[in-house]
Structure 1
């Protein structure tokens, strides 16, 4: 590597590693994920020479080098545990090589996500209300489904009382996150946003993009976005019975095919919520298929 290459590499690491608080570091790991993002955030929680790593999303050498650099900047703590918010590939693909480095070689995961992991990975199941100590820092686990069934939010309480919530793919500082079938549940998602606000966190670490510092207003904005889309779905059914795909084509602008398919799955999640609230109903017996036709109840 030339001196120029080393300088560019150092600048890249500086841009991708951010200290958010006394104990929490954000590492923007380059991965293939949903646009507009080109990275997944891994997090280090560090205190008293010990570290927990959340969501190592890539096994590529560049990503592992970035993790090593973050550990070095954090004082070279002993890596004691790997935790994942949920099992989607862009959050777990780096778990395998990282487990080999940990003092506790098992990935902490909710039971509803555990069976989605490679069978050779040992698991340490965590559930709502469980806690872990990292030095004087306390990690508490909230079960916050909506994006995926066993999604966890890790609530970090520092010795001075500061609270940071690491909320994975439930939140984003800009734009929206994907909530769609089969993993997504729109009603649970909206409830989970309220639960994150209720933690009193002054900062929320997102799965992608920068941290959220105006927590209550930003999460209210995200909920309002979903409720506005819900109103559009209901409005599309005002005059006729439609499938999820037909609704999508009415309420979204023209989309590239891969993005359109994701939008259809998101509209399906809205329809499942509305059906559960007896606000829409199916007009056929094609339960569980994307070809079902819906009308207002």
Structure 2
């Protein structure tokens, strides 16, 4: 995959990434988060809108407050994973801003002040429900061709799809939905901006299809576990990322099962064709 890189950003500082849009990168760098979660400050008609407050980090909240001078018109959430949601309560308490997120939160402890629906509008942006990485994942599309793609499409890495909240079939559908739009610029939840995104999204989809076919082929040789599939197909994966790879494999297996192409067998999985022949 032609992933993008960028130098480590200056911490605690808002930098312009597009007209009317600034970014503060949270200090939660890691193998799963790159340099950290991107918090976006969006100039809207009603004032500054904060998208994805980031992890529960007092210094990051303070950086948001300083960059906005404490005047936040609304807090938007792309999805309820902790590296995006964690700072929301503190930022809401300091600003009094209402929170906006998908109407079916994947985190039972969080409910937005204003629930959003697929196709709805917020701060002049269209809400695109793009489940796959998370069941409550939203992208936000501006009329100028800029889309906040959060963790659905990231420039530095492919997304982890971890059941039960993650769903590989939904991820495929959501990739195709974004691909069909042909937007000019994606601003992801981690990593640098992505221009001319269509070829990149297509490669993400093709990569996942190739991986799924490799899994299906391995199942034809006999029953295997997700861990054994990781050993076979992800031999170059960093040891710390093996758990994420195993979750992706499990998501592929569940998709294959729903399509009638794979079945659980003992402690592992097997091709449905082989199971029927046996």
- TM normalised by structure 2 equals 0.86
Aligned residues: 266
Structure 1 residue 77, shift from structure 2 partner: 8.1
**In structure 1, distance between residues paired with 2:127 and 2:11:** 30
**Residue in structure 2 matched with residue 94 of structure 1 by the alignment:** 87
Deviations 1:41-67 (A, max 9, x none): 111110346011111113323212332
Pair 1:122–1:283, CA change in 2 (3 A): closer
**Residue in structure 1 matched with residue 149 of structure 2 by the alignment:** 167
- Does 2:121 align with 1:131? yes
**In structure 2, distance between residues paired with 1:255 and 1:22:** 38
- Does 2:234 align with 1:252? yes
- Please show how residues 101-140 of structure 1 align to structure 2 within 5 Å: 101-105=94-98, 107-113=99-105, 115-118=107-110, 123-133=113-123, 138-140=124-126
Pair 1:293–1:53, CA change in 2 (3 A): same
- Does 2:250 align with 1:268? yes
Higher deviation after alignment, 179-188 or 25-34: 25-34
Q: Secondary structure at the match of 2:65?
A: helix
- Does 2:54 align with 1:68? no
User: Looking at both structures, which has the greater relative contact order when contacts are Cα pairs under 8 Å and sequence separation is at least 6?
Assistant: 2
Q: Secondary structure at the match of 1:242?
A: coil
Aligned partners of 2:52 and 2:78 also within 8 Å: yes
**Residue in structure 2 matched with residue 80 of structure 1 by the alignment:** 73
- Please show how residues 171-210 of structure 1 align to structure 2 within 5 Å: 171-210=153-192
After the TM superposition, which parts of structure 1 deviate over 6 Å for at least 4 consecutive aligned residues? none
Aligned partners of 2:131 and 2:167 also within 8 Å: yes
**In structure 1, distance between residues paired with 2:18 and 2:35:** 24
Structure 1 residue 37, shift from structure 2 partner: 0.9
Unaligned runs of 5+ in 2: 1-7, 274-278
- TM normalised by structure 1 equals 0.81
Unaligned runs of 5+ in 1: 1-10, 285-290
Aligned partners of 2:129 and 2:138 also within 8 Å: yes
**In structure 1, distance between residues paired with 2:167 and 2:222:** 25
Q: Secondary structure at the match of 1:44?
A: strand
Q: Secondary structure at the match of 1:140?
A: strand
